[in-house]
């Protein structure tokens, strides 16, 4: 399991002597990050959200590909294997592309579930395309609070799980689908009302799954607040 502390200790520590990373240093840092996340997984949401400030969509794609080579679900919060493990060396890139575009279940060779496919897509589209070496100072561990807050805000991502948890009613699910489409996340390869319906069904199901999990684990914070009140 990877934590923010691990990322700082293993990935960032060697780069603490200056604010401006050279292109080469930024590349090394990215490789380290891919290395640590390709055979481990983020311990909590905070870690995955923290990591976003060092990632571009391309670096994230590298993590995804490497995780798949290690037979792990692409989503870096997950320790499971993809639903269908296929030897990635046995098929050509063209075949892979063809399968991806023509097989509606292709995501199952990359992810453990459709849910993690969506989580991963949603994370990836939010990542900045600004090169890492241009994000001056982002790699420094001892930030002052103002600077830390600036980076946290500038490279903030919302996790799909968090988004779903906030959306309770059916109406929200519909507006959620609209929002996802604007981000370029399609309900399927072909635009059709059936695909929208499918997406809506999926979202509602995940939503209730999340609620069930939360009811099983009553919030500790909630209990504490109760005890505190007079
Ligand atoms: Zn997964």
Query: Does 211 fall in a domain?
Result: no
> In this predicted structure, what is the pLDDT of residue 30?
97
DSSP string, 11-64: IIGGGTT-SS--HHHHHHHHHHHHHHHSSS-BSSHHHHHHHGGG--HHHHHHHH
Query: Does 46 fall in a domain?
Result: yes
Query: Does 137 fall in a domain?
Result: yes
> In this predicted structure, what is the pLDDT of residue 221?
46
Query: Does 113 fall in a domain?
Result: yes
Distance 57 CA to ligand 1 centre (A): 19
Query: Does 96 fall in a domain?
Result: yes
The predicted-structure confidence for 194-229, as pLDDT tens digits, reads as follows: 777 888 888 888 888 877 776 665 544 444 434 343
Tally of domains in the chain = 1
Q: In which domain, by residue range, is 160 found?
A: 4-166
Look at residues 118, 35, 30, 32 and name the one whose alpha carbon lies nearest to residue 73: 118
Instruction: Find the CATH number of the domain harbouring 131.
Output: 1.25.40.820
Distance 137 CA to ligand 1 centre (A): 32
pLDDT surpassing 70 at residue 86? no
Query: Does 197 fall in a domain?
Result: no
Question: The pTM is what?
Answer: 0.82
Distance 128 CA to ligand 1 centre (A): 23
Distance 217 CA to ligand 1 centre (A): 21
Distance 77 CA to ligand 1 centre (A): 7
Q: How does residue 12 score in pLDDT terms, banded at 50, 70 and 90? A: very high
What crossing angle do the helices spanning 170-182 and 193-216 adopt, rounded to 10°?
120
């Amino acid at each position: 399991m990877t934590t923010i502390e691990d990322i700082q200790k293993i990935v960032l520590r060697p780069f603490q002597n200056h604010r401006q990373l050279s292109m080469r240093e930024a590349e090394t840092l990215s490789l380290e990050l891919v290395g640590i996340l390709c055979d481990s997984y983020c311990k909590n949401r905070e870690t995955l959200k923290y990591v976003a400030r060092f990632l571009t969509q391309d670096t994230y794609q590298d993590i995804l590909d490497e995780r798949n080579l290690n037979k792990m679900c692409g989503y870096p919060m997950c320790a499971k294997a993809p639903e269908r493990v296929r030897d990635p060396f046995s098929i050509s890139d063209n075949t892979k592309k063809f399968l991806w575009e023509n097989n509606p279940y292709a995501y199952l060779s990359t992810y453990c579930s459709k849910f993690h496919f969506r989580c991963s897509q949603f994370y990836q589209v939010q990542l900045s395309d600004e090169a890492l070496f241009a994000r001056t100072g982002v790699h420094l561990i001892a930030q002052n609070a103002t600077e830390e807050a600036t980076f946290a805000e500038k490279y903030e991502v919302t996790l799909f799980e968090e988004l779903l948890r906030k959306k309770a009613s059916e109406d929200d699910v519909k507006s959620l689908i609209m929002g996802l489409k604007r981000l370029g996340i399609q309900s399927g390869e072909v635009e059709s009302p059936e695909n929208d319906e499918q997406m809506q069904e999926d979202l509602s199901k995940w939503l209730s799954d999340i609620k069930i999990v939360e009811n099983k684990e009553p919030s500790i914070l909630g209990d504490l607040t109760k005890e505190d009140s007079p």
